[in-house]
Structure 1
Amino acid sequence: MEIQGHQLHWLHIGNERVTRCWAAHLASRELAQSYILVGPADVGKAMVAKNFMRTLVCERRDQAGSDWPCEQCETCRQTARGIYPDFYELDVLPDKQKISIDQVRQLLDKVGLSSLANNYEVALIRHADQLSEPAANALLKNLEEPQAQALFIFLVENLSALPATIVSRSQVFRFYPVAADLIYDHLVNDWGTNRDLAKNLAQVCLGRPNLAIRFLEQPELFQDYCQTAKILLQLITSPVLADRLAYLRQVYPSVAISAGETEWNLWQIWLGLIRDLLLIKQDQLPLIQHWFLRDELEKAADVLSLSVLLKIFTNLGAAREYLTANVAPNLVFHNLAVGA
């Protein structure tokens, strides 16, 4: 991709409109002080943000016809190795649910100092929709009193979770799920993936290329996912309550206090299977997510009526509300299995 005479080397898949627009900001030198990247997890928001940062601080950025980034200057070598001194990342700590005011204060203390590299300072805030209210207010105050070469990038899935005052002071770019064909081509051409596996990964990731690559790099994760999906489909199609509860124990044997990653993953797989069955009912087999289960799904769609599938779909919507409200997940999934 070429932007005003510069060859853009931003490794990403899809969302080309965002890439072109953001690179044009660099070319025009009309930079906002803060950017918000909105979109689902694993669509490549962080990758594009880091590509932007690397180009922003590249020592040859202003040279006519230079590559963006050049990959040759000292700063490019630092960013490639992850040791550029004026790039900061902030995220929710592993044992916490929110980004705290203390984390933000520590970040702002660093950004408030003079640049160690005499260049731009860039702060990347992941899961910014999980900022605590005091943390968000501290960042807002900083945005109200901008520094000349300090730039903030917020990554969010839900824009409405950010204070409107932060949104109004930022340039917003929206990322969307990537077409399965693009992901398939990327896996085959750039990763050398065999076509059958590439098809399965491109479908199952639902437009999230980073998830497809993670499954490719960690095949045991994909195997676990496939096994869970197979068992859940057996649960959905079983007419015997005792069998459904036995299948549930195979995929969710633990008793969690609140909904964590495991619980939400299980809910998403369950929802995806029902979506697939509804698509097959409408003669839309090519659009299903779980391509590796297409034969089993077609048989299940012949057995389950549309009214039953819609009832399960409604129950899954209620389950989402319960999980969000911190109802015990084992009770939520038990009720789903009983009503399946």
Structure 2
Amino acid sequence: MSFKNIFCQDRIVNLFQKAIVHDHLAHAYIFAGQEGIGKTLFSKELAKTIFCQHARADACDTCSHCQRITNDNFPDLFFVLPEKNSRTIKIEQLRHLQDVLHVKPLESKYKIAIIQSADKMNEESSNCLLKTLEEPPSHAIIILIVTSLESVRETVRSRCQIIRFFPLSMIVVKDILVNSFHLDEKQAEQLACISNGSIERAALLSSTHALDKKNWLVDRILTLGMNDNLTFSKELLDKWNIQDLEILEEKRSQVKELILSFLLYYRDLLICKIQSGMPVYHTNWRNTLTSKCQVLSEEVLFRIIQVIKTSLEQLDHNANIALLLENMITKILRLQFGDRTV
């Protein structure tokens, strides 16, 4: 694999190819963009191109350096990421990286450190990294991979060149799902529609039978009554197998996908309400959605969507999962059935 296999990021590829050819690489970069759009893959291909023994603007994929990087076995390339069952990158990991970077490269003119989920550094870790960024070794290139720039301290951001990655197109996601994951055209198209340009998310949705669950969810929402909040909350935990998962981060990932399914449904209701002409995902329920939205005002739909978005934010701040779902559903049903005090 090389830059030619990086999709929908031509601007970024061209930027770095010129920097490599003219030897104008910066000491620190932030790769920012949503999950699953190729930031980590690109950073690895970038390292491969920089370290390639056949100096040029793309990796050859055949030399010893390229092959060892492909196999995660190159001494001048380092990855840092949160440890298993941890939501943060610990200061001990950054201190170790400091020590590593201050030792001269073994086989190249550079040492490259790729910090995945760098927006999960706590204050201590950020301060430790900041010291390295303020006085980086001349041979060091540090790449921070983040989904949110707002989570990165300004003092860190100001010392890095920020590179923004964009979601993949629906056509590209669909083609990858068909050609690489061997899905049928219809399933690939549905997954591409809800993946928000993320092949990682599309693949996850495929492996967890998410389409079947989303269909079940719509059918169930359409039958809900005002006082079904507790029953429905328990059904969701069972249907998404959330209680069976032992690792907390896996639970949060499943709950996030569940909440996004709610968001998708009420987004479709709003589109039908305002008759914007935008496509809806739940095409099989188009007539039902059109009828359902007649009894809900735009204001109510906007407020429900805000409740769902707030729940997503709370999920990222260690909220109790069962209580979070119960509260979200209670507020949604109250709004939907006319309680304006929510």
TM-score, structure 1 length as denominator? 0.84
The answer as to whether partners of 1:90 and 1:126 remain within 8 angstroms in 2 is yes
The reply to whether residue 273 of structure 1 matches residue 238 of structure 2 is no
SS in 2 for 1:36: strand
Q: CA deviation at 1:114?
A: 2.2
Do 1:231 and 1:247's aligned partners in 2 also have CA atoms closer than 8 Å? Answer: no
Q: Which residues of structure 1 form unaligned runs of 5+?
A: 1-7
Aligned-partner SS, 2:289? helix
User: Offset of 1:191 from its aligned partner?
Assistant: 5.5
Tell me the TM-score normalised to structure 2 length.
0.84
| 1:140 and 2:130 matched | yes
Matched, 1:207 2:197: yes
Greater mean deviation of Cα atoms: 184-193 or 48-57: 184-193
Give secondary structure in 1 for the equivalent of 2:29. Answer: strand
Match of 1:129 among 119, 122, 125: 119
Gap change, CA 1:314 and 1:163, over 3 Å in 2 = closer
Quote the offset at 1:239 in angstroms: 4.0
Q: Which moved more, 1:47-56 or 1:257-266?
A: 257-266
Is structure 2 residue 43 aligned with structure 1 residue 54? no
Over aligned residue pairs, what C-alpha RMSD do you find? 2.7
Who is 1:17 aligned against?
A: 11
Equivalences, count: 322
Counterpart residue number, 1:38: 32
Cα distance in 1 for partners of 2:28, 2:203 equals: 29
Which range moved further: 253-262 or 296-305?
253-262
Mapped to 2, the partners of 1:333 and 1:213 lie a distance apart of 25
Q: Contact 2:19–2:25 at 8 Å: present in 1 too?
A: yes
In 2, are the aligned partners of 1:90 and 1:123 still within 8 Å (CA)?
A: yes
**Offset of residue 193 of structure 1:** 4.1
Local SS of the residue matching 2:5: coil
Deviations 1:249-286 (A, max 9, x none): 22214679998223222222211221122223344676
Partner Cα separation in structure 1 for residue 287 and residue 47 of structure 2? 47
Counterpart of 1:229 in structure 2 is 214
- Pairwise mapping of residues 54-133 of structure 1 onto structure 2 (< 5 A)? 54-62=48-56, 68-133=58-123
Alignment-derived partner of residue 338 in structure 2: none
User: What displacement does 1:154 show?
Assistant: 0.3
One-letter amino acid of the structure 2 residue matched with residue 301 of structure 1? T
Alpha-carbon distance in 2 for matches of 1:273, 1:89: 38
8 A contact 1:122–1:152 mirrored in 2: yes
Identity %: 24
1:150 to 2:140 alignment = yes
1:26 aligns with 20
State how far apart, in whole Å, the 1-side matches of 2:253 and 2:178 are: 29
The CA distance in 1 between the partners of 2:61 and 2:145, in whole Å, is 25
Distance 2:291 2:36 in 1: 34
What SS does structure 1 have at the residue aligned with 2:85? coil
Equivalent pair of 1:11/1:51 in contact (CA under 8 Å): no
Conserved? CA contact 2:112–2:141, under 8 Å: yes
The alpha-carbon deviation at position 37 of structure 1 amounts to: 0.5
Mapped to 2, the partners of 1:324 and 1:76 lie a distance apart of 37
SS in structure 1 at match of 2:255: helix
| Separation (CA, whole Å) in 2 of partners of 1:230 and 1:285 | 23
Q: What is the CA-CA distance between 1:45 and the residue it aligns to?
A: 0.7
